[in-house]
């Protein structure tokens, strides 16, 4: 079976690609390289050259290109939609860029996917909950007004998809609300590969560990949490990848049209604790200091993770320590190989 991954050269898409390849699926990747590089394709080939993904370089906001793509690949069994811009900060500076890319991109994709009734998985985020009143966060918690245009694009995206499924009995979709994906493929040949200074915590930690950055800033330690720093639910990217495959399999046999699942381990870990765990598993000390809180950060977010386990049979395999070690191996690989993300 052939699966289309929009944004498949990005962090999460590339890991899902390896999983699909290893299970015998053919993969078509659509990407415009706005936040990735063709080097990622070479890395994917280094992991599995026998069943290589097909790369289609195009922008999903371009209606004509998308229509042509779906005519060319008329034998698809499903679509996983990763392609989006994801910087919270940048989305505040450039809201139109984010609404255009993430909302127009989704709408254009939906037009072709819905017309063919192809099952669709959407990359959503725990950001839709804002600071939830209830912890752990269940899927039925209401959306809070988002702090950023990025967050709004995930809330709107889910609504647009849900509304579209309600108009076509044959069209099925699922929103996966990721908590905090971290880590890298077991091979260490792919991982999170920020083009600029990392905004996410783990790539920042690994870049400090390798000596690329001087110090980690911990954004605030006066929150109402056990040690004052923010609490998140970190999940290994390959466990997250598995959730996509289970999601597709579920959609192929499901009766309802629209589903929502949290994807997290259900374990709240503070920033300070995560840094400590990294230091413990790698025996490297991370130079860090406490700074002001980052605007828009919610103090605590972790998932009630049982729905996806019960309904889809998803069983996470990796611990947070294993995820941290894999991220560290990837950083070391990047350092020793001299690879650069802009080397297209």
The footprint of ligand NAD (CB under 6 A) covers 7, 9-13, 30-36, 59-61, 82-86, 101, 105, 123, 125, 178, 181
Neighbours of 310 (CB within 10 A): 9
Task: Find the angle CA(195)-CA(199)-CA(201) to the nearest 5 degrees.
Answer: 120
Angle between helices 105-115 and 63-72 (to 10 degrees): 30
CA–CA separation, 200 and 62 (whole Å): 29
Q: Is the CB of 104 or the CB of 286 nearer to ligand NAD?
A: 104
Near ligand UDP by CB under 6 A: residue from 110, 112, 218, 246: 218
Residues 299, 224: contact at Cβ < 8 Å? Answer: yes
C-alpha dist (Å) from residue 112 to 3, 73, 160, 162: 15, 12, 14, 16
CA–CA separation, 220 and 332 (whole Å): 28
Q: Is the CB of 113 or the CB of 235 nearer to ligand UDP?
A: 235
Which residue number places its CB atom closest to ligand UDP? 230
Nearest residue to 60 (alpha-carbon basis) of 126, 174, 157, 140: 157
Interaction mask 251-290, ligand UDP, x per CB under 6 A = --------------------x-------------------
Near ligand UDP by CB under 6 A: residue from 48, 67, 297, 335: 297
CA–CA separation, 75 and 55 (whole Å): 16
Tokens 């069943």 locate to 51
In sequence order, the 6+-apart residues with CB closer than 8 A to the CB of 123 are: 7, 12, 80, 81, 82, 84, 176, 178
Q: Is the CB of 171 or the CB of 234 nearer to ligand NAD?
A: 234
Active site residue 234: no
CB of 27 to ligand NAD, least distance (A): 14
CB of 218 to ligand UDP, least distance (A): 4
CB of 54 to ligand UDP, least distance (A): 31
> Binding to ligand UDP by residue 323, rule CB under 6 A?
no
Q: Is the CB of 27 or the CB of 84 nearer to ligand UDP?
A: 84
Give the active site residue among 150, 258, 302, 318.
150
> Which of ligand NAD, ligand UDP, none is residue 10 near (CB under 5 to 8 Å by kind)?
ligand NAD
CB of 60 to ligand UDP, least distance (A): 23
Tokens 């390798």 locate to 210
Backbone angles phi, psi at 308, to 5 degrees: -70, -30
Q: Select from 37-45, 51-59, 99-107, 211-219 the region that touches ligand UDP (CB under 6 A).
A: 211-219
Tokens 């967050």 locate to 151
Q: Select from 214-222, 257-265, 277-285, 331-339 the region that touches ligand UDP (CB under 6 A).
A: 214-222
Provide the binding-site residues for ligand UDP, judged by CB under 6 A: 180, 199-201, 204, 216-219, 230, 232, 271, 294, 297
Active site residues: 150
């Amino acid at each position: 079976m052939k699966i289309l991954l929009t944004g498949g050269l990005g962090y999460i898409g590339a890991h899902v690609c390896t999983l699909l390849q290893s299970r015998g699926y053919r993969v078509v990747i659509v990407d415009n390289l706005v936040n990735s590089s063709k080097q990622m394709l070479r890395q994917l080939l280094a992991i599995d050259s026998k069943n290589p993904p097909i790369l289609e370089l195009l922008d999903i906001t371009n209606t004509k290109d998308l229509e042509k793509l779906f005519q060319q690949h008329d034998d698809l069994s499903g679509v996983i939609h990763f392609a989006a811009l994801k910087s919270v900060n940048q989305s505040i500076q450039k809201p139109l860029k984010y609404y255009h890319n993430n909302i127009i991109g989704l709408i254009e994709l939906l037009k072709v996917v819905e017309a063919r009734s192809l099952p669709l998985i959407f990359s959503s985020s725990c950001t839709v909950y804002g600071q939830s009143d209830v912890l752990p966060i269940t899927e039925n918690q209401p959306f809070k007004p988002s702090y950023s245009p990025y967050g709004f694009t995930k809330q709107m995206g889910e609504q647009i998809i849900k509304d579209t499924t309600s108009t076509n009995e044959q069209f099925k979709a699922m929103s996966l609300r990721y908590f905090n994906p971290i880590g890298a493929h077991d091979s260490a040949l792919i991982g999170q590969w920020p083009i600029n200074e990392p905004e996410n915590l783990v790539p920042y930690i690994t870049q400090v560990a390798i000596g690329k950055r001087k110090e980690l800033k911990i954004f605030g330690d006066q929150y109402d949490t056990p040690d004052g720093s923010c609490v998140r639910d970190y999940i290994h990217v390959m466990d997250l990848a598995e959730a996509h495959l289970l999601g597709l399999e579920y959609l192929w046999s499901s009766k309802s049209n629209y589903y929502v699942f949290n994807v997290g381990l259900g374990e709240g870990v503070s920033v300070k604790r995560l840094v400590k765990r990294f230091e413990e598993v790698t025996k490297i000390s991370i130079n860090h200091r406490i700074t002001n809180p980052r605007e828009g950060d919610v103090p605590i977010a972790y998932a009630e993770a049982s729905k996806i386990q019960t309904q889809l049979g998803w069983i996470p395999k990796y611990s947070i320590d294993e995820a941290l070690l894999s991220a560290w191996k990837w950083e070391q690989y990047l350092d020793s190989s001299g690879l650069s993300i802009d080397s297209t």
